[in-house]
Amino acid sequence: MIQRKYFGTDGVRGRVGEHPITPEFVLKLGWAAGKVLAGDEGGTVLIGKDTRISNYMFESCLEAGLIAAGLSIKLLGPMPTPGIAYLTRAFRAKAGIVISASHNPFYDNGIKFFSADGTKLADEVELQIEAMLDQPLTTVDSARLGKCVRQMDAAGRYIEFCKSSIPAATSLKSLKIVLDCAHGATYHVAPAVFRELGAEVIVIGDEPNGLNINEQAGSTHPEALQARVVAEQAHLGIAFDGDGDRVMMVDHEGRLVDGDELLYIIARDAKIHGRLQGGVVGTLMSNLGLELAFRELEIPFLRAKVGDRYVMEKLKEHGWLLGGESSGHIICLNANTTGDGIGSALQVLAAMVQSGATLKELAGGMSKCPQVLINVRLTPGAKPLEHERVKSAVREQEARLGDSGRVLLRPSGTEPLVRVMVEGSDAALVQDCAERIAEAVRAAL
């Protein structure tokens, strides 16, 4: 199998100023992608971004590279990743490009691509782009150079698309909601969506300054949202990540409702109303309680490797519509072609309104098994999963868990981390096993 040099599970990503996230490379990447995705045909490419400060620089670099390849550009400005996927289809563009490092800090950044149909690029297309990067950059004849315009109504178009993803008669006027936009790409879109559907909306994390994206905010840091929901006596809270493709929710008591529970709520509601086509795809990290809950509902459930691209592969393979990850990356193919935080939240709210149940009551239909996740930061070049000390620790803890638990170690696809996950029926045992394995990983570094 050919290894990709630059593309990971979610585009090209790294620390700003360090290869490959440099102005020179991103310019060449824009040119190479343009040559592969459009050839000599020309056409239009959309560019959207989250709110990190380096996006001004990388937007200009992509613009130059694409224009040199003979493509025109529509600049969308700050826009959630799923909004860029939708608009790529709506404008019949050759491709959509997102400048974002998702839930990572501001000093990281990345470039990810959508094909003309709003889906992430196939592996073979990414390999073609990598091969083109090895070619000298050439500029088309001046008469064929592309142009660049700013699409001023991009946010409004996506807002209307989100609202149309739930039944037209659905009103949120009975709900008081706290939104946490992570100082990211949803800051100007999400509040409008929920307000226009009738909800009373309180917003935090909506003051991006280029440096505060995901900083103690959003789906990866929901503590402020949990406290605010309780303080405001709101019905629920909704937290997005920096680029808006993930969502976590908080019930009226301040308890976090994660991606597994949200996936359960959406799937159960879809089955009740005859909208569930086939089964549901989770990942190796999905809680065992989710699998057991679907078994009780007689909903087929499959696990994919961690990463939304692998969830999508399974969905396409089986012709199913619904899948997701514990992190809140949920794919509803009947609504959008990629994970959509706002769209997924709306599916949950529609289920609440139609059933008359609270978020806590709906999530209560699934009993989560105790699960502990410990992230161990990697040093450059380290491969601790191959170390005998780590393998031995895993064997020992698996023996302690027996048939009532499982262990999963995997490198993150987006950060220099090893994720240690242990799951089982005994919370104290699960915690101890996870800590012992994490310590073995640290020692192996």
Q: Using only C-alpha atoms, what is the Rg of the chain?
A: 22
User: Whole-angstrom distance between the N-terminal and C-terminal Cα of the chain?
Assistant: 28
Q: Is residue 161 part of a domain?
A: no
Does residue 176 share a domain with residue 138? no
The whole-number pLDDT of residue 203 equals 98
Does residue 248 share a domain with residue 332? no
Q: Is residue 164 part of a domain?
A: no
Average pLDDT score over the chain: 95
SS3 110: strand
Distance (Å, whole) CA 442 – CA 107: 25
- Are 312 and 324 a contacting pair, CB within 8 Å? no
Other Cβ atoms less than 10 A from the Cβ of 244: the count is: 33
Choice among 102, 115, 165, 327 that is catalytic: 102
The whole-number pLDDT of residue 2 equals 61
Does residue 314 share a domain with residue 296? yes
- Farthest-apart Cα atoms in the chain, separation: 70
Q: Is residue 157 part of a domain?
A: no
Distance (Å, whole) CA 190 – CA 184: 11
Distance (Å, whole) CA 254 – CA 274: 31
Instruction: Return the structure tokens found at 245.
Output: 């493709």
- Are 332 and 281 a contacting pair, CB within 8 Å? no
Distance (Å, whole) CA 104 – CA 414: 8
CA distances from 13 to 98, 108, 110, 130, 249 (A): 11, 7, 4, 14, 27
Distance (Å, whole) CA 401 – CA 422: 9
**Is residue 327 pLDDT above 70, yes or no?**
yes
Distance (Å, whole) CA 75 – CA 286: 36
Does residue 306 share a domain with residue 234? no
**Model pTM above 0.85:** yes
Model pLDDT for residues 173-216, shown as the tens digit of each residue: 999 999 999 999 999 999 999 999 999 999 999 999 999 999 99
Report residue 381's pLDDT band, with 50, 70 and 90 as the boundaries: confident
**Is residue 257 pLDDT above 80, yes or no?**
yes
Does residue 315 share a domain with residue 291? yes
Does residue 136 share a domain with residue 20? yes
Question: Measured on CA atoms in the order 436, 441, 444, 445, is the torsion positive or negative?
Answer: negative
Which of 209, 238, 255 is the endpoint of a domain?
Answer: 255
Task: Please indicate whether residue 102 is annotated as part of the active site.
Answer: yes
Boundaries of domain holding 351: 258-368
Q: Is residue 32 part of a domain?
A: yes
- Are 73 and 147 a contacting pair, CB within 8 Å? yes
Distance (Å, whole) CA 5 – CA 131: 10
Q: Is residue 298 part of a domain?
A: yes
CATH for 400: 3.30.310.50
Which of 228, 255, 282 is the endpoint of a domain?
Answer: 255
Q: Is residue 166 part of a domain?
A: no
More confident residue, 416 or 189: 189
Read off the DSSP letter of residue 237. Answer: E
The whole-number pLDDT of residue 271 equals 97
CATH for 222: 3.40.120.10
Other Cβ atoms less than 10 A from the Cβ of 403: the count is: 7
Does residue 227 share a domain with residue 195? yes
Does residue 35 share a domain with residue 127? yes
Does residue 148 share a domain with residue 84? yes
**Is residue 148 pLDDT above 60, yes or no?**
yes
Distance (Å, whole) CA 123 – CA 102: 20
Q: Is residue 163 part of a domain?
A: no
What percent of the chain has a predicted confidence (pLDDT) above 70?
100
Does residue 194 share a domain with residue 283? no
Q: Is residue 159 part of a domain?
A: no
Instruction: Return the structure tokens found at 302.
Output: 């499959």
Amino acid (one-letter) located at 209? N
Number of domains in the chain: 4
Does residue 376 share a domain with residue 328? no
Which of 203, 228, 255 is the endpoint of a domain?
Answer: 255
Report residue 413's pLDDT band, with 50, 70 and 90 as the boundaries: confident
Does residue 358 share a domain with residue 314? yes
